[in-house]
Amino acid sequence: MSARVALLLALPLLLAAPHAYARSVEEKPAGPTVAERTAHNQRLRALVGKPAVEPISVQHLHTHEWTVIDPAKGATLPQDTLDELLRCHQTNQRTRIDARLVTAIVAAALEFNKRRVLVVSGFRAPKFNLALRKKGREVARDSQHTHGTAVDFKLPGVAPKRLLAYVRRLRLGGVGFYPESGFVHCDTGPIRSWTGR
């Protein structure tokens, strides 16, 4: 198709455009309808006197990096933020983190009315996981941490045992209890539970 033919074909559209625009401006309603205003006022009235839901900060214990989640907007984080925050703190490698882990830790914070979550460990690069095993740490060979499907966390001010009981009730997957270290392991693998140090 030559440029001239293309222009001729487009001409009716180009000519019609200003007219269509003018018409749409004229037909735009003057404002919200009575029903819309009433609904809006009712929503505002319902909010009066209710405290806003405080945001929850999620901090990684090793990198000291943190982010904020507004539970009113859902217990989620943008995938990229999540992958960065829960990256392997030893190698800085990233993987795709299972977003259900965020839902679980936010649910736990809300359950205990806490606004701060401390992440002890998120993703572990396989070589870091292996290094921990060689050091004799309680680390599974094919740990869920190496798949981005596990998080170790604590809620300051909440006894680990209470946190453990809550995470178990979620029935999300594996739950590990580390009473001495004071954190709970939560993963999205098969449902099972164990106690470490």
Residues that bind Zn ion (CB under 5 A): 150, 152, 185
Nearer Cβ to Zn ion, position 21 or 194? 194
User: Closer to Zn ion at the Cβ: 109 or 146?
Assistant: 146
Which residue minimizes CB distance to Zn ion? 185
* Closest distance of CB 31 from Zn ion, Å: 55
Distances in Å between the Cα of 78 and the Cα atoms of 34, 75, 118, 162, 194 are 37, 10, 19, 29, 31
Q: Which of 117, 115, 62 is nearest to 87 (CA)?
A: 62
Q: Strand 192-195: give its sheet, edge to edge.
A: 66-69, 56-60, 116-121, 150-154, 183-187, 174-178, 192-195
Minimum distance from CB of 189 to Zn ion (Å)?
Answer: 11
Nearer to Zn ion, 75 or 188 (CB): 188
CB of 167 to Zn ion, least distance (A): 12
Cα torsion 59, 148, 76, 172: sign: negative
Residue 35 beta carbon to Zn ion: minimum distance, rounded to whole angstroms: 53
Residue 115 or 185: which CB sits closer to Zn ion?
185
Q: 154, 162, 157: which is closest to 185 by C-alpha?
A: 154
